[in-house]
Structure 1
Amino acid sequence: MSTTSQLAKRFREVLLDGLWIANTNFKDQLSNVNMEQATAKIGSLNSIAMLTFHIDYYIAGLSNVFEGGKLEIRDQYSFDLPPLESEEQWENLKSKLWKDAEKFAALLEQMPDSKMNEGFVDEKYGTYLRNIDGMIEHCYYHLGQITLIKKLLKQKESV
């Protein structure tokens, strides 16, 4: 199996269908979260909806580069989620994440392995491999946060 196919598999595991590392994934964790839970605030923590937006923001931004576009995303905008006012908007945000995640994985599968050692956009960002590995690690980091926030919300509801 090629390196890019292996990376795409790892990426899909954390976002869409895997159980190997965390025994869960984004799709599993978000499947039973309603808009009220998604937008609930626990202290100074980001909401589940905010973390969902944040991860999708980076996935869509890197996909744009994979398609030959420019790196147009900026950290300062990665939490700029407009207020969610309906269950439909929350469902649309999740659907966008699933669609963008599958697109990212498909684009990654199409890349030759030789691309992994090439510079990513600018020398300061390192290689494609570094950025793809970073994306996977970033997703696991926020998956852990979402899992904990769900547990805190459940505790809060049972009090």
Structure 2
Amino acid sequence: MENALEIANRFRETILNGTWIANTNYKDQLENLDWKIAVTPIQNLNTIALLAQHIHYYIDGINNVFKGGTLDIKDKFSFDFPPISSQEDWDIFLTRFWNATEEFASFVEQMSDEKLNQFFVDEKYGSYRRNIEAMIEHGYYHLGQIVLIKKLLTHP
């Protein structure tokens, strides 16, 4: 469980509270961000809101598996979300994002080393550990995009 706790905390750092890798995290970048900035397109890039929703989509989908459900997420749907059209919509989404992140981390920290090394849903997806670590890496990839887009929008 020591390995699981370490991985769960690394995941939390990406989204909720870390500064070690990127000197920031999703919560730091998004919590006080005006919704209009979050949904503002720049060139042909995804918006900040879409990138955050994309990461949440995968967290939610994996949480469903952790709860004993099926793996229903599909890459082709990972950017299809209802528009955010108010600060209230944005704040509601962020609360769901933070809660899903904590739920994910809580599931991970309860995993034994044996569970971490088991196949995730199907052998073709690799182990639970591989998929959890992929979420951390995927999270940092899009966090970097969010930071750059936010700078372009707020410091023209």
TM-score (normalised: structure 2):
0.97
Q: Which residue of 2 aligns with 1:49?
A: 49
Residues 19-98 of structure 1 mapped to structure 2, 5 A cutoff: 19-98=19-98
Of 77-86 and 134-143, deviating more is 77-86
Aligned-residue offset at 1:24? 0.5
Q: Which residue of 2 aligns with 1:101?
A: 101
In 2, Cα distance between equivalents of 1:130 and 1:115: 12
The reply to whether residue 15 of structure 1 matches residue 15 of structure 2 is: yes
Q: The residue matched to 1:71 in structure 2 has which SS?
A: coil
In 2, Cα distance between equivalents of 1:44 and 1:155: 18
For residues 49-97 of structure 1, give each alpha carbon's deviation from its aligned partner in whole angstroms, at most 9, with x where no partner exists: 0011100000010111111111011111110111111110011111110
4+ aligned runs moved over 2 Å, structure 1: none
Aligned-residue offset at 1:33? 1.1
In 2, Cα distance between equivalents of 1:63 and 1:31: 22
Aligned-residue offset at 1:6? 0.4
Q: The residue matched to 1:40 in structure 2 has which SS?
A: coil
In 1, Cα distance between equivalents of 2:10 and 2:4: 10
Aligned alpha-carbon RMSD (Å)? 0.9
Aligned residue pairs total 156
Segments of 5+ residues of structure 1 without an aligned counterpart are none
In 2, Cα distance between equivalents of 1:14 and 1:75: 21
Q: The residue matched to 2:155 in structure 1 has which SS?
A: helix
Segments of 5+ residues of structure 2 without an aligned counterpart are none
Q: The residue matched to 2:23 in structure 1 has which SS?
A: coil
In 2, Cα distance between equivalents of 1:83 and 1:5: 35
In 2, Cα distance between equivalents of 1:13 and 1:83: 27
TM-score (normalised: structure 1):
0.95
